[in-house]
């Protein structure tokens, strides 16, 4: 008698309907179906807008949003999806095993390939923000609290500022918007000038606009990159990993650099790069035996530069970043070459040069010594999203064990099974 093994059935639920600005997390007059050929989702905190592509079979069974007289939802076969689905409709995508589905995408249909097979191209709520224009505004010369400005920008879009961003109470420089721009353009400008990441992030099942410092910027309590992962899932290489394409390297301090930036209320800024002092050991030995009275510094400051208020204003008007004035070299050709360095970025608001240098040197010591490149493909056991954490466990290669920040998740669901390929560039701990 043949032995029968347990198996899991791939399941999904796609819901499509109209956008309701009063209740943006709900979908009005929706259609639901659970038959697809393939689903592809790209989720990254580096992208302002996440995307999804849904490939449908020639014929699908739709469950209509309204119930009939018996309390059941009417179902009907649909052979022409183009007669029902249109650009701008809301869509949510949940996938999993055995009807234990997890929502991985919430957004809008942005284009349709009306062919065989029928394909829906979708973007998350960032698409709505890219389409919403903001009239010219000017905030206080003393700086701008995101909690004061962003809710006004989002008014009427159906999306709110993420609760964790509100708790950070982030302050940036004066905002001067001389002509109408979309919210998306404004946020991209803030990313370029203030080092602020912007992406759509779920909280209690609802999408929010998350604004966050980068992972190594300012204090850890001003970043949303690692999310609210109090109990991150544990991925066992022997059970959960489909394909391992990770490459680990241990970075020498001599190849690490921390670019520190202090932004002032008038948008002028000070920038410097912290590297290790390669002559520190020799200098310290001389100091210890009294050959010199000057105490050596473990770090060195290079490429110190300034952007004036006038330059910053011109920078905001331009789509390109202006070059800094190199303040600690006589000639531009003397600028320290960072090509061989692994550079991280650190931001502060309204601190002077000495404070910026002191804080950046302290932060330098927190940089992970592990460099990770490549990606890791997991079975669909966890339903992962970017801006969260995962713990890896490999009994055969314990050097891989640890807690990692997920920067990107590519989900593939359908004819090839259910897989999630993740990038984990930052190690948070062991």
* Closest C-alpha among 262, 168, 210 to residue 46: 210
What are the strands, taking DSSP E only, across 171-268?
171-172, 176-177, 181-182, 196-203, 206-213, 234-236, 241-250, 256-263
What is the percentage of the chain residues whose pLDDT exceeds 70? Answer: 82
Rounded Cα gap, residues 34 and 60, in angstroms:
8
More confident residue, 242 or 226: 242
What integer is the mean pLDDT of 189-204? Answer: 84
What integer is the mean pLDDT of 164-184? Answer: 88
The pLDDT value given to residue 327: 47
The pLDDT value given to residue 23: 78
The pLDDT value given to residue 423: 95
* Closest C-alpha among 254, 419, 278 to residue 340: 254
The pLDDT value given to residue 370: 64
The pLDDT value given to residue 334: 62
pLDDT at 329 over 70: no
More confident residue, 71 or 234: 234
The mean-pLDDT minimum among 218-222, 242-246, 312-316 falls in 218-222
pTM, full prediction: 0.82
Q: How confident is the model at residue 170 (pLDDT cuts 50, 70, 90)?
A: confident
The pLDDT value given to residue 83: 67
More confident residue, 59 or 256: 256
Rounded Cα gap, residues 188 and 320, in angstroms:
12
The pLDDT value given to residue 275: 92
Q: How confident is the model at residue 328 (pLDDT cuts 50, 70, 90)?
A: very low
Burial level of 77, CB count in 10 A (0-12/13-18/19+)? exposed
- In this structure, are residues 342 and 251 in contact, taking their beta carbons and an 8 Å threshold? yes
The pLDDT value given to residue 322: 44
pLDDT at 122 over 90: yes
Give 21's DSSP letter: T
For the stretch 355-409, pLDDT in tens is 999 989 988 877 655 678 899 999 999 999 998 899 999 999 888 899 898 999 9
For the stretch 9-20, pLDDT in tens is 999 999 999 988
The pLDDT value given to residue 148: 94
The pLDDT value given to residue 222: 53
Rounded Cα gap, residues 391 and 386, in angstroms:
14
For the stretch 245-255, pLDDT in tens is 998 876 677 88
- In this structure, are residues 357 and 227 in contact, taking their beta carbons and an 8 Å threshold? no
Q: Average pLDDT of the chain? A: 83
For 209, half-sphere exposure in the C-beta direction (CA atoms, 13 angstrom radius) is 26
Token pair recorded at residue 84:
């029902």
* Closest C-alpha among 124, 197, 158 to residue 387: 197
Of 110-124, 267-281, 411-425, which one has max mean pLDDT?
411-425
Rounded Cα gap, residues 277 and 281, in angstroms:
9
More confident residue, 227 or 5: 227
For the stretch 32-46, pLDDT in tens is 888 899 999 999 988
Q: Return the H-helix or E-strand segment holding 168.
A: helix 163-168
* Closest C-alpha among 32, 39, 42 to residue 126: 42
Domain ranges of the chain: 10-124, 129-225, 231-251+368-430, 253-364
For the stretch 66-87, pLDDT in tens is 555 545 545 555 555 556 788 9
- With a CB cutoff of 8 Å and minimum separation 6, the contacts of 295 are 287
- In this structure, are residues 275 and 266 in contact, taking their beta carbons and an 8 Å threshold? no
Rounded Cα gap, residues 195 and 197, in angstroms:
7
The pLDDT value given to residue 340: 84
More confident residue, 201 or 78: 201
Cα 235-237-242 angle, rounded to 5 deg: 95
What is the CATH number assigned to the segment(s) 129-225? 3.55.50
More confident residue, 317 or 138: 138
Instruction: State the architecture of 231-251+368-430 in CATH terms.
Output: Beta Barrel (2.40)
Rounded Cα gap, residues 29 and 23, in angstroms:
13
Token pair recorded at residue 332:
């531009």
pLDDT at 293 over 50: yes
Question: How far is CA 374 from its chain centroid?
Answer: 17
């Amino acid at each position: 008698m043949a032995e029968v093994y347990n198996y899991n059935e791939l399941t999904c639920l796609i819901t499509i309907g109209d956008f309701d600005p009063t209740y943006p997390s709900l979908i009005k007059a929706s259609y639901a179906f659970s038959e697809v050929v393939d689903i592809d989702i790209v989720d990254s905190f580096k992208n302002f807008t996440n995307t999804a592509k849904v490939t449908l079979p020639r014929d699908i069974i739709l469950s209509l949003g309204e119930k009939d007289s018996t309390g059941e939802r009417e179902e009907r076969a649909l052979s022409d999806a183009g007669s029902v689905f249109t650009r701008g409709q809301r869509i949510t995508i949940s996938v999993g095993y055995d009807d234990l589905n997890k929502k991985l995408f919430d957004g809008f249909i942005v284009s349709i390939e009306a062919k065989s097979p029928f394909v829906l191209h979708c973007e998350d709520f960032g698409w709505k923000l890219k389409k919403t224009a903001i009239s010219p505004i000017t905030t206080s010369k003393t700086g701008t609290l995101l909690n004061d400005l962003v809710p006004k920008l989002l008014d009427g879009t159906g999306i709110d500022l993420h609760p964790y961003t509100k708790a950070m109470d982030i302050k940036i420089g004066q905002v001067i918007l001389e002509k109408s721009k979309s919210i998306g353009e404004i946020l991209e400008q803030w990313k370029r000038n203030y080092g602020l990441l912007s992406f759509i992030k779920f909280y209690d099942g609802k999408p929010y606009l998350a604004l966050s410092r980068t992972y190594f910027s300012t204090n850890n309590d001003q970043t949303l990159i690692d999310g609210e992962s109090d109990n991150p899932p544990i991925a066992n290489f022997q059970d959960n990993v489909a394909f391992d394409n990770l490459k680990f390297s241990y970075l020498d301090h001599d190849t690490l650099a921390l670019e520190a930036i202090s932004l002032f209320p008038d948008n002028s800024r000070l920038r410097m790069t912290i590297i290790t002092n390669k002559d520190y050991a020799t200098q310290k030995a001389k100091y210890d035996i009294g050959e010199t009275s000057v105490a050596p510094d473990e770090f060195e400051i290079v490429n110190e530069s300034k952007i004036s208020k006038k330059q910053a204003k011109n920078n905001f008007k331009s789509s390109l970043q202006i070059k800094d004035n190199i303040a600690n070299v006589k000639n531009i050709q003397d600028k320290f070459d960072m090509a061989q360095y692994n550079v991280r970025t650190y931001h502060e608001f309204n601190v002077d040069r000495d404070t910026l240098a002191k804080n950046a040197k302290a932060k330098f010591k927190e940089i992970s010594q592990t460099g990770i490149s490549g990606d890791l493909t997991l079975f669909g056991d966890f339903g992962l999203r970017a801006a969260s954490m995962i713990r890896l466990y490999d009994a055969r290669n314990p050097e891989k064990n640890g807690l990692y920040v997920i920067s990107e998740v590519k989900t593939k669901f359908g004819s090839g099974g259910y897989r999630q390929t993740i990038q984990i560039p930052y190690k948070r701990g062991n």
